[in-house]
Chains A and B, each alone.
Chain A
Amino acid sequence: MKLSELPFNTLAKIKSIDKKVTTRVVAMGIVLGTDIKVIRASPLGDPLELEVKNYNLSLRKSVCKLIEVERI
């Protein structure tokens, strides 16, 4: 499923990343096989707060749609 659809506080693994995701986002730890969790959405619904590589990162849903994950 897409990262943007992952329920909150559910652990998942990154399965594939669309080419459109930029190097700078990848450098933040968005790489294949990484464990990832969605912690919450912003009060206005977007962006999302993620937990990845033991820290908290915020990305917009539009980018999260480009990331495929699998629940573990």
Chain B
Amino acid sequence: MSKTLALIGNPNVGKTVVFNELTGEMGHVANWPGVTVEKKEGKMDDINVVDLPGVYCLSPAAIDELIARNFIIKDNPNVIVDILDATNLERNLYLAFLLKELEVPIVFVLNLMDAAKDRGIKIDVQKLSELINAPIVPTAAIKGEGIDEAREMIKKIFEDKKLAEKSTRPIKYSKELEDKINQTMEILGEYTPKFLTEKRRWVAIKLLEGDKEVQKELTSISNGSKVIEEVKNFCTGTEEFDLAGERYNKIGEIIKQTYIRKKDVVTISDILDKVFLHKYFGIPIFLLIMWGMFEFTFRVSAPLVTLVEYLLGLAGQVFEAIWPEDAWYLSFVNDGLIGGFGAVLGFVPLIFMMYLVLSFLEDSGYLSRAAFNMDRLMYKLGLHGRSFVSMILGFGCNIPAVMSCRAIESEEDRLTTILVNQNISCGARLPVYILLGAFMWPGATGTIVFSLYLLGIVIAILMALFFRKVIFKGEAAPFMLELGDYRMPTAKYTGIHMWERGREFIKKAGLIIFTVVVLLWLLQNLPWGTEPENSALAFIGKLFQPLFAPLNWSWIAAVGIIFGFLAKEVVVAAFGLILSGQEDPEGLGSLVVGALPAVGVAAAALPALVYGYLVFVLLYTPCIAHLGAVYKETGSKKWTLVSATYGIALGYILALIINLIGGVYF
């Protein structure tokens, strides 16, 4: 029989680190069935390790909590490993208590012991283990300390039936509550002998709490509604709070006996918060950090991009040397693969650098401070502090940004955040801005690019207001945010987090972009041996060009837009391919700008035309994979269609207006 272990814990307790240390791998990622929350799995010897989402409790209100809880109830892992933060034991024990109620064999890993020690915290682990009836292993996972012991203890609990059984023993609550729990269990047994027999105590507790999900399941079996009725009859309605209070009471007693913390030590976190959350400096510092993030991204990635381009150029020369000059495969490899896919690869450093900074900010604890600083603003837009993080992610790639929205509890907030995210200018759009901007406005490229980013933010805000005030008129969801200790991120795990995010982009680059680039090359070369102006690509461009005639765009401009719909990364590649007859990568910007206007457009109108083009690129669908993500996350064709149409419509209208103004002004 296969052995399964479920890893759980509060957010930010070092679960990723423990997972890696235990399994010695980064884990394979898939999605949970039916939802897009990532499911990470790995192997510790013959034990299958499943990483559950980081959660504070197991309420049915939030999707990640429901996933964690359903996995434990329905998939019956043999053992649960709950990771606790030693610097914040009291709150962490709350989830531990909820897990104990599930009566599953459990091992606790008391992580961050090093950080606890630094803060003068002493924990009597032996005593703690006795009081909660389960083995506890102290670790400092980031230093690899205690990992061997944890691994051993996990193996032991798989083999030692007695140890396993002991760890399933519940913690008893106050007499009053225990009476109610017993009474509910009796009613359950009377009417529904088979309903979750093994976890009857848990079901009883959930019924007392009025848990919607358990009630729903109960009503689907005969006599289930009767049980709910009878339980309601003797409930006072305060049981949910009573139980929570009682858990924290018990936790308080345990803490008193096992946990010593030096009173009133001023921690580094306290000092840093005085600065980062300062009444007047907090927001300027936040803006400075965001600016620094982009500066760093562009500066550091520039040489990397050059390097990638250089290596690809070198490869191209090698092929030229070894293959006959007019072979179709030379053209395919050099123009199709290297010219196209290579252009895409050039942006990988950019994306990864952005994720590097984001991961650093998140791991250090700053990102939650940013949400704290910005929440009021988000709230005014009818959004959530978490929406803000999703928006920031959008600057990297809109796909993980849309996916990150599932952490937002309220449906209205979530839909709005998903639908406005596309206006946040992702990394893939930037090369287009730079290509055209650098040629058109050589002295002011930065300003032009900045104005586009800013426009995207403004449109996102306006659309958020529109959606939240006109379409989804619901109450804002409660906001809660833990402001945990700042931590110095380690290179290894910042790297891993960067990779986990960047992987999304690589997947997209690998699959969609590659396919599109090959398609592009084919279309450009068919019928075989033709001139670019007569190719299938040109045919498609000319087919769609009339749609863009009011904007004064040429068919080449149309090609860029059509392929940009598939993936923004290929816009530059598409231009490169169509215009690569004049092989001159340095001057691509000038070629493209020259090719964008339809025949007969005055040179004076060019800046407005180009800027309008960039605005369109900014506002219409980021890429087809983005629409896929929107569809997955909203589960609705309607909202996916809304996302696509409003983007295209807005882009078109604004480009038109800019053209008109430009035409008159110049």
Which A residues fall within an 8 A CB radius of B? 17, 19, 21-29, 31-34, 40-47, 49, 53-60, 62-63
Complex alpha-carbon distance, A43 and B240, angstroms:
34
Given A40-B277, A43-B282: A24 and B480 interface contact (C-beta under 8 Å): yes
B473 at the interface (CB under 8 A from A): no
Q: Give the nearest-CB partner of A57 in chain B.
A: B482
Complex alpha-carbon distance, A27 and B273, angstroms:
24
Q: Give the nearest-CB partner of A43 in chain B.
A: B282
Given A33-B245, A55-B88, A57-B483: A43 and B94 interface contact (C-beta under 8 Å): no
Which stretch in B373-381, B561-569, B643-651 binds the other chain? B373-381
B665 at the interface (CB under 8 A from A): no
Which stretch in B30-38, B53-61, B333-341, B342-350 binds the other chain? B53-61
Q: Give the nearest-CB partner of B85 in chain A.
A: A55
Contacts of A42 in B (CB 8 A): 277, 282, 372-373, 375-376
A32 & B245 in contact (Cβ 8 Å cutoff): yes
B484 at the interface (CB under 8 A from A): yes
B479 at the interface (CB under 8 A from A): yes
Per-residue CB contact flags for chain B residues 635-660 toward chain A (1 = under 8 Å, else 0) read 00000000000000000000000000
A23 & B240 in contact (Cβ 8 Å cutoff): yes
Contacts of A45 in B (CB 8 A): 376
Complex alpha-carbon distance, A36 and B248, angstroms:
14
Which B residues fall within an 8 A CB radius of A? 56-57, 59, 61-62, 65, 88, 90-91, 94-95, 209, 237, 240-241, 244-245, 248, 261, 273, 277-280, 282-283, 372-377, 379, 385, 409, 476, 478-484
Q: Give the nearest-CB partner of A20 in chain B.
A: B478
Tell which of B248, B282, B373, B379 touches A60, judged by Cβ atoms closer than 8 Å. B379
A57 & B480 in contact (Cβ 8 Å cutoff): yes
B261 & A22 in contact (Cβ 8 Å cutoff): no
Q: List 14 A-B contacts (CB under 8 A).
A: A19-B237, A21-B478, A22-B59, A23-B57, A24-B478, A29-B94, A43-B278, A47-B385, A49-B277, A49-B372, A56-B482, A57-B480, A58-B375, A59-B480
Given A43-B278, A55-B91, A57-B480: A27 and B244 interface contact (C-beta under 8 Å): yes
Q: Give the nearest-CB partner of A23 in chain B.
A: B59
Contacts of A34 in B (CB 8 A): 248
A25 & B241 in contact (Cβ 8 Å cutoff): no
Complex alpha-carbon distance, A24 and B95, angstroms:
11
**Minimum-distance CB pairs A-B, first 7:** A44-B376, A27-B57, A43-B282, A56-B483, A58-B481, A31-B245, A53-B90
> B493 CB to closest chain A CB, in angstroms?
22
> B368 CB to closest chain A CB, in angstroms?
8
B479 & A58 in contact (Cβ 8 Å cutoff): yes
Inter-chain residue pair count (beta carbon < 8 A): 121
B483 & A28 in contact (Cβ 8 Å cutoff): no
Complex alpha-carbon distance, A54 and B485, angstroms:
12
> B5 CB to closest chain A CB, in angstroms?
24
Contacts of B376 in A (CB 8 A): 42, 44-47
Contacts of A25 in B (CB 8 A): 478, 480
Given A23-B209, A27-B56, A54-B88: A59 and B61 interface contact (C-beta under 8 Å): no
Complex alpha-carbon distance, A56 and B480, angstroms:
11
B478 & A31 in contact (Cβ 8 Å cutoff): no
Contacts of B476 in A (CB 8 A): 62
Contacts of B240 in A (CB 8 A): 23, 26
Contacts of B282 in A (CB 8 A): 42-43
Tell which of B94, B261, B283 touches A54, judged by Cβ atoms closer than 8 Å. B261
Q: Give the nearest-CB partner of A59 in chain B.
A: B480
* Given A19-B237, A27-B95, A63-B480: 7 more A-B contacts, CB < 8 Å: A23-B59, A28-B56, A40-B279, A43-B278, A43-B283, A57-B483, A58-B480
Q: Give the nearest-CB partner of B477 in chain A.
A: A22
Contacts of B261 in A (CB 8 A): 54
Contacts of A24 in B (CB 8 A): 56-57, 59, 61-62, 65, 409, 478, 480
Contacts of A32 in B (CB 8 A): 241, 245
Contacts of A41 in B (CB 8 A): 279
B277 & A29 in contact (Cβ 8 Å cutoff): no
B283 & A29 in contact (Cβ 8 Å cutoff): no
Contacts of A59 in B (CB 8 A): 478-480
> B465 CB to closest chain A CB, in angstroms?
17
Tell which of B65, B244, B379, B479 touches A31, judged by Cβ atoms closer than 8 Å. B244
Contacts of B248 in A (CB 8 A): 29, 31, 34, 53
Complex alpha-carbon distance, A46 and B373, angstroms:
8
Contacts of B283 in A (CB 8 A): 43-44
A22 & B478 in contact (Cβ 8 Å cutoff): yes
Complex alpha-carbon distance, A64 and B317, angstroms:
67
Complex alpha-carbon distance, A27 and B73, angstroms:
20
Among B59, B240, B480, find the residue whose CB has the most chain A CB atoms closer than 10 A: B480
A60 & B479 in contact (Cβ 8 Å cutoff): yes
Complex alpha-carbon distance, A48 and B360, angstroms:
25
Complex alpha-carbon distance, A43 and B62, angstroms:
29
Q: Give the nearest-CB partner of B481 in chain A.
A: A58
Complex alpha-carbon distance, A19 and B241, angstroms:
9
Q: Give the nearest-CB partner of A45 in chain B.
A: B376
Q: Give the nearest-CB partner of B283 in chain A.
A: A43
Q: Give the nearest-CB partner of A17 in chain B.
A: B241
Contacts of A26 in B (CB 8 A): 240-241, 244
Complex alpha-carbon distance, A12 and B261, angstroms:
20
Q: Give the nearest-CB partner of B384 in chain A.
A: A60
Complex alpha-carbon distance, A58 and B280, angstroms:
19
> A4 CB to closest chain B CB, in angstroms?
14
> A30 CB to closest chain B CB, in angstroms?
8
Contacts of B95 in A (CB 8 A): 27
